[in-house]
Amino acid sequence: MSGRGGATGEGSRPAGGGRDPAGEIRMRRLAALEALYPRFEDERTVVVTIMGAVAAELQSLGHRPSFFYLQHAMGLASSIGLGIALCRPELTVVVLDGDGSVLMNLGGLTTLGRYRPPNLVHIVFDNESLLSVGGFPTATATGADLAGIAAAADVPRIERADTPEDVLAAFDRATGSGELTTIVAKVEAHYTVPAGAVGFVTPLGLLENRFQFARHLETLKGPRP
């Protein structure tokens, strides 16, 4: 990405990171979601996403009652995931976060690091921009390192993933580790409107999604005596 320059930025990148020789990020978020999607088919895995492209793209792969799309309240997807994970340790909770959202709630990373629920996987798609409001670059475009921030916030496991295969492998290591993991996946600032969506608006109503999701979590408790 233009504007990234100098010794500080590139020097901190992992070897063989997901950039082409010109320094452009190569992974598309949709490809990462496609790689992860089979893992989300377990009904005891629940997924909380941020708004915008992440929500629309995940829905385009097939909505499930175990998915909740936080279509606003930027920054709080990880807090919602923390609340679910602490209350329902028998579930696997996946938060699909973004750089803009994480930057709005950096304190929340310290809360994640403090309580570190072992059943939470926190995936940050870092496209270095606020894509849904015009693509303005975030601070990760100029060098802020969310994986480093998460590590410093005491999140016990950190992964960086640069290809869909890496994202899936990191996810499997996370769920196998029994420790809270933040996976930072650099993705292109790219969004193609999925069929059925208008911009970022999909046919699934916010409240329909919210009540269906809560009902799903209730049914996972098993039949009531």
Partner 1 sequence: MPVSLDHSRLIYDALKAHGVRLISALPETWLVHLIRFADEDPDTILVRLAKEEEGVGISMGAHFAGVRSALLMQNHGFLASVNGIVSGAQLFRVPLLMLISARGELGEPDPWQTEGGLVTRHVLDALRIPREDLTSPDHVEDRIAKAHVLAYASNRPVALLLGRDLMWEAA
Closer CB to partner 1, 78 or 170, in the complex: 78
What is the smallest separation between the CB atom of 113 and partner 1, expressed in angstroms?
Answer: 10
Contact residues for partner 1, defined by CB under 8 A: 48, 68, 70-88, 105, 107-108, 110-111, 114-115, 206-207, 210, 213-214, 217-218, 221
What is the smallest separation between the CB atom of 174 and partner 1, expressed in angstroms?
Answer: 19
What is the smallest separation between the CB atom of 83 and partner 1, expressed in angstroms?
Answer: 2
Which is nearest to 173 in space by CA: 161, 190, 155, 189?
161
Closer CB to partner 1, 8 or 219, in the complex: 219
Closer CB to partner 1, 176 or 221, in the complex: 221
Tell me the DSSP string of 164-185: HHHHHHHHHHHHHHTS-EEEEE
What is the smallest separation between the CB atom of 181 and partner 1, expressed in angstroms?
Answer: 18
Closer CB to partner 1, 87 or 201, in the complex: 87
**What's phi and psi for 87, nearest 5 deg?**
-85, -25
Burial pattern 180-206, b for ≥16 Cβ within 10 A else e, equals bbbbbbbbbbebeebeebeebebebee
Helix (H, G, I), strand (E, B) or coil at 108: helix
Q: Which two tokens stand for residue 19?
A: 């950039």
